[in-house]
A = this chain, B = another copy of it.
């Protein structure tokens, strides 16, 4: 029976450490790091995500503000607000909760956030730096998964990993972190990595999964990963999160992995909810603190 990786507990532990880091930072004469979250329109899921981020900020001792803009906000107006926050020395991290309404170009928004305040790590320059194994801000979900593997002592060096999905916010950065050289600045994981996606035939997906010591799935298809696709003892990380109705008519959240079946063969498995989700939030806190520290160092140098 697989060991369940308790993402919630791990995130709590990490946030305990981050709280101390913030206290030291403040004790050294700095303001508490400040995160600005911008939400455009009314989407219940987005509102819940932002609320969780604000709770985490309080927990670790960051100050935060949530700016809610009407759905009809123009791209120009949003860009102007971002520019304001970019040049406000009291703001250390800026994020725009995705998705944005359709009349706004997501990529333009991600690139508008100044690279040193881009705590989501979605700016094209941060993605480029990650691809080159350079110091930068790493998107929170892949960073959270890397941290989970490390904290669970899952060996990755020279092991086989599969990433199912090819999103630019999760799967691609994760594939880069899994496959790249551990001796470089990102301390990557040196695994052999296969990227599967919507056009990978099901038979091939199963074949690659069965070869894998680590399977990470991030597509949003409940039940995609079944027991027969998992090598005994493999580590299975489930990034999927889909709302479904259970037999009793209750809404619940499920991942992409058939959890009850797969846990019988896997060596490690993450639950949904309580797996990757809380780690993402903890890593956002980490990124905001690192951004604030870097900005403080730069400000000192420029004096």
Contact = CB atoms under 8 A, between A and B. Distances in A.
A195 B180 CA distance: 10
Instruction: Categorize the interface residue count of chain A.
Output: 35 or more
Contacts of A166: 179-181
Q: Which of A132, A157, A201 has the most CB of B within 10 A?
A: A132
Contacts of A190: 197, 199
A51 B132 CA distance: 28
B133 A124 contact: no
A195 B189 CA distance: 13
Interface stretch (A95-103, A204-212, A221-229, A272-280): A204-212
A281 B195 CA distance: 29
A225 to B, nearest CB: 16
A148 interface: no
Given A124-B125, A211-B207, A158 B200 contact: yes
A127 interface: yes
A131 interface: yes
Interface string A180-207: 1100000000101111110111001101
Contacts of A127: 128, 131-132
Given A131-B172, A211-B207, A197 B201 contact: no
Interface of A: 107, 123-129, 131-134, 157-158, 160, 166, 168, 172, 175-176, 179-181, 190, 192-197, 199-201, 204-205, 207-208, 211
